[in-house]
């Protein structure tokens, strides 16, 4: 580990340039549509979640990889502007920065195809120490496992967002404290019971407008308990980045010492607010915005 003082949140993950097309709806297989607009935004689940955590007040380090192209320089500058440390995210010579090809319909729903680029070469050899280690699966799973093993050794809480969803190695689940799949990913990663049996202590399933379901073994609980949390009421225009807003905010609040329920409530609000603006990083709410939105219920 580098440095003696841990960060609040260390995000081990991807950085992409998002290429976004807006169309009246998501096209079906083999269908061609005329798009309404095209934009480029900073993104990648790792960078999104790092910025989300920073905007929720955490001191954040990002561990990953950029390409040595203009896109990589652009994304590194975004991280710097947000106060996210990228010392452990090298620029890989001769390699392109990752790209995400995103289609967003008028109803706010989206489809995403990711081209890893430099993300496929990300390693966790220089992972910083943190109170919470947060990772996703847009980088090699071996890097995530190493970061979590090191994190657990140093007393960190490990949080995994299993996206894109795939079969998860048992050695990864054994060092995962909290897992945050969405309603589609939960089935692809084995279901709640299988995750708990593999050693995960808390499973948080995000379900968009239907809210969040939290199942946890808790401390000293005889059997797992499940609670439901309602979503906030928003007019969604783009769901891109909402899950990342949730995960980054959750990690930030857990690192700050919130209870699980408090952290989930904050993360739900952050995720909901993110759907009200277009793009990934541009949509991520600040601590003041989330606090103001939560005020009526507190």
The residues annotated with a catalytic role in the active site are 244
Cis amide linkage into residue 164, ω under 30° from 0 = yes
Rounded Cα–Cα distance for residues 182 and 165 (Å): 9
Measured CA to CA in angstroms, residue 148 lies from 27, 109, 141 at distances of 38, 32, 11
Instruction: Output DSSP code: residue 202.
Output: E
DSSP 8-state assignment for residue 85:
B
CA terminus-to-terminus distance, the chain: 39
List the structure tokens of 101. Answer: 């090809």
Residues 6+ apart with CB under 8 A from 230: 211, 268
Which residue, chain included where needed, has tokens 């949140």? 9
Sign (positive or negative) of CA dihedral 168, 59, 212, 40: negative
């Amino acid at each position: 580990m580098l440095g003696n003082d841990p960060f609040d949140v260390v995000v081990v993950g991807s950085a992409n340039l998002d290429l976004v097309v807006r169309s009246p709806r998501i096209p079906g297989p083999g269908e061609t549509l005329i798009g309404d607009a095209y934009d480029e935004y900073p993104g990648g689940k790792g960078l999104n979640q790092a910025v989300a955590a920073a905007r929720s007040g955490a001191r954040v380090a990002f561990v990953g990889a950029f390409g040595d192209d203009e896109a990589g320089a652009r994304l590194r500058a975004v991280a710097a502007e947000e106060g996210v440390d990228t010392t452990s995210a090298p620029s890989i010579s001769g390699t392109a920065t990752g790209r995400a090809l995103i289609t967003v319909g008028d109803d706010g729903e989206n489809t995403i195809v990711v081209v890893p680029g430099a993300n496929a070469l990300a390693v966790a050899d220089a992972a910083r120490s943190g109170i919470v280690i947060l990772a996703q699966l847009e980088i090699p799973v071996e890097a995530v496992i190493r970061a979590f093993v090191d994190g657990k050794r140093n007393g960190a809480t490990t949080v995994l967002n299993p996206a894109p969803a795939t079969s998860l190695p048992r050695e990864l689940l054994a060092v995962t404290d909290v897992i945050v799949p969405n309603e589609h990913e939960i089935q692809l990663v084995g279901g709640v019971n299988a995750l708990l049996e593999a050693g995960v202590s808390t499973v948080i399933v995000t379900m968009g407008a239907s809210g969040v379901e939290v199942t946890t073994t808790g401390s000293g609980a005889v059997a797992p308990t499940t609670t439901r949390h309602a979503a906030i009421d928003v007019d969604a225009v783009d769901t891109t980045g909402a899950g990342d807003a949730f995960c980054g905010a959750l990690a930030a609040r857990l690192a700050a010492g919130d209870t699980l329920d408090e952290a989930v409530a904050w993360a739900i609000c952050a995720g909901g607010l993110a759907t009200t603006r277009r793009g990934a990083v541009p949509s991520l709410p600040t601590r003041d915005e989330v606090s103001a939105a939560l005020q009526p219920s507190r």
